[in-house]
Chains A and B, each alone.
Chain A
Amino acid sequence: MYNFVEQGGVNDSGIEEDPEKYQKFMERIEAGKLIEADDWMPEEYRKTLIKLISMHGISEVMGALPEKEWTPKAPTLKRKLGIMAKVQDEMGHGQLLLRVTEDLLKPYGKTRENLMEDLLNGDLKFHNVFHMKTKTWADAGLIGWLVDGAAIISQTNMLDASYGPYQRALHRICAEEVFHAQHGEAIIMALAEGTEEQREILQDSVNRWWPSLLMFFGPGSASTTGSSKQEITMKYRIRKSSNEELRQAFLDKYLPRVFSLNLTVPDDTLHYDEQEKKWIYQQPDWNEFKQIISNKGPMSKERLRLRQIAYENNRWVIEALSKEHSFS
């Protein structure tokens, strides 16, 4: 799964810190060299990475929850095994990315526990799609097909990211995401070629998820929601393309596939502008988007509650482990 770039608020440009080091740093990343965890980096770069990767990591963890709703209910043994493998991968991605974040947090004396606290108190956001309700088995397929499909587009955009640990994690994650998209596509194909009721739940799923999929890549510019960090991430060669370019790539790839299954999307204005070479679509409600990622989405509270229970209900286990560890 993944992250758009939305939050602003990082003002440490790094130039003031140490102009000489900053210049060498910029020369390194412009020459395509990788920055490693122990290398000098400007505060702005570190904070941008922390925000980006912690959100990505925690979105992987929270992203397992909507699919978990359907894991035991998957309608065949094969589908049960498929979705079990997928949610396990998502948790693994979360673990990998939180480890990358933990290294970046070291100079601030912060740990993963702080990240979990940030999540529960609303300071660490998770991706808009994972605040949404699931209603039918078709949603489990659609998440794999289109949400993971969108994630692949976002993440491959950063496979050359200047931060080495993130880049390496992304290479592994993207390889697995391809399987997730194929898993989702297989579910979708079975429904699309299935009974009338199966086709109905599929179309209903596309209709309900469409605005969230458009929101997936984040606002087109800072003026849409009041803040955007996409320019900073591009300056530091963490990502290559803008939110809108990624959204257009998604529409280019998936709309023909959606239409080839005789499915529709809930947007009468949608068309391809041959002159501008881009899709014209009805903008999703970006105010609603802001509400969703502020933990006011349809399932925000319920999903956060699950993490809160996991955190508090197992406290005795964590205490026991640290005690046991201190004896050894």
Chain B
Amino acid sequence: MTHFENAEQAKRDPLYKEALTELLYQFADDDFILAFRGSEWLGLAPHIEEDVAFSSITQNTMGHATFFYQLLEELGEGDADVLAHERGPESRKSAVYLEKENGDGHYLDEPFYDWALTVVRHYFYEEFKQVKLELATRSSYQPLADAAQKVLMEQPYHLAHWKMWVKQLLAAGGEAEERLRARMVEAWGEFKDVLELGPKAKQMADAHLIAGEDVIETQWVERVETTVGKISKQQLGKKQGSGRSGEHTGELTIALKTLSEVYDTDRTAIW
């Protein structure tokens, strides 16, 4: 197995670099959009303690996105801020399920957000991210292995937080359990896109960048079902399309417009 110690070595192998950047865009774009969805919740969480915890997790998640964009910058993909703010929806590699709006309304106007969606989405995502990062610690690209190791220092706390929410709301029974179960079934029909590695999955596996997507899926299902039990008899689905292949909804377009609103007023200015 060829091991790449740094960006300069990776850049000398175009096929390797192609698979590597694809994987890094997935890491970065997933965290970027989910941190945005988290930031929309500020001041609207069920209680103030949760507002404090959730905004801390959101900030960390945006920090992880930044970290992955910087790895892309080192590989010659362009400035991290350009990668975060200037790429259109069609070039985003984030999963479609993660761009789904938090509920009804806008974050500044009548935001009737759904805590059940947020708890399920974050719990499912953090379990997935934990698996993907653990696998990435054995990556042939050393800067990615190091980054994964570093992110894994914070990741277990995020996972523990959302796992606690899932367990508490399920244990409460009644309306809370019903809401959560409904959101889990919905997620089951869409989450396969999150677990996939996209059109370059084979290249990634061949280059030993990360284990195959079947490994990610198996480990994720096992961990999630250990916590919440069997969710559905159906196969995992991707009803909303494949974000890994650049398919997205209008909800991502709107989100990106907000995220780039000030940046777009002058892309060359120093902010």
Contact = CB atoms under 8 A, between A and B. Distances in A.
Given A61-B43, A77-B80, A320-B172, A314 B263 contact: no
A74 interface: yes
Interface in B124-183: 168-169, 171-176, 179
B53 to A, nearest CB: 9
Contacts of B228: none
Contacts of B107: 68, 72
Interface string B73-96: 000000011001100000000000
A176 to B, nearest CB: 13
Interface of A: 61, 64-65, 68-81, 84-85, 87-88, 91-92, 94-95, 98, 137, 187, 190, 193-195, 197-198, 302, 305-307, 309-310, 313-314, 316-321, 323-324, 327
B115 A314 contact: yes
B15 interface: no
Contact of B172 (A92, A305, A321): A321
Interface in B239-271: 258-259, 261-263, 265-266, 269-271
Contacts, number: 144
A124 to B, nearest CB: 14
B16 interface: no
Nearest to B104: A313
Contact of A310 (B43, B49, B66, B176): B43
A91 B42 contact: yes
| Candidate in A69, A73, A198, A307 with the most chain B CB atoms within 10 angstroms | A73
A141 to B, nearest CB: 10
B51 interface: yes
A320 B176 contact: yes
A79 B47 contact: no
Contact of A321 (B52, B62, B111, B168): B168
Chain B residues touching A, range: 35 or more
A73 B262 contact: yes
A327 B167 CA distance: 13
B115 A306 contact: no
Interface in B29-86: 35-36, 39-40, 42-49, 51-52, 55-56, 58-59, 62-63, 65-66, 69, 80-81, 84-85
B48 A61 contact: yes
B184 to A, nearest CB: 16
A61 B45 CA distance: 12
Given A195-B266, A198-B266, A72 B39 contact: yes
B4 interface: no
A240 to B, nearest CB: 30
Contact of B269 (A69, A79, A195, A321): A195
Given A74-B262, A190-B271, A316 B43 contact: no
A318 B179 CA distance: 14
A95 B47 CA distance: 9
A75 B62 contact: no
A190 B270 contact: yes
B179 to A, nearest CB: 7
Contacts of A317: 46, 115, 169, 176
A103 to B, nearest CB: 16
Contacts of A94: 48
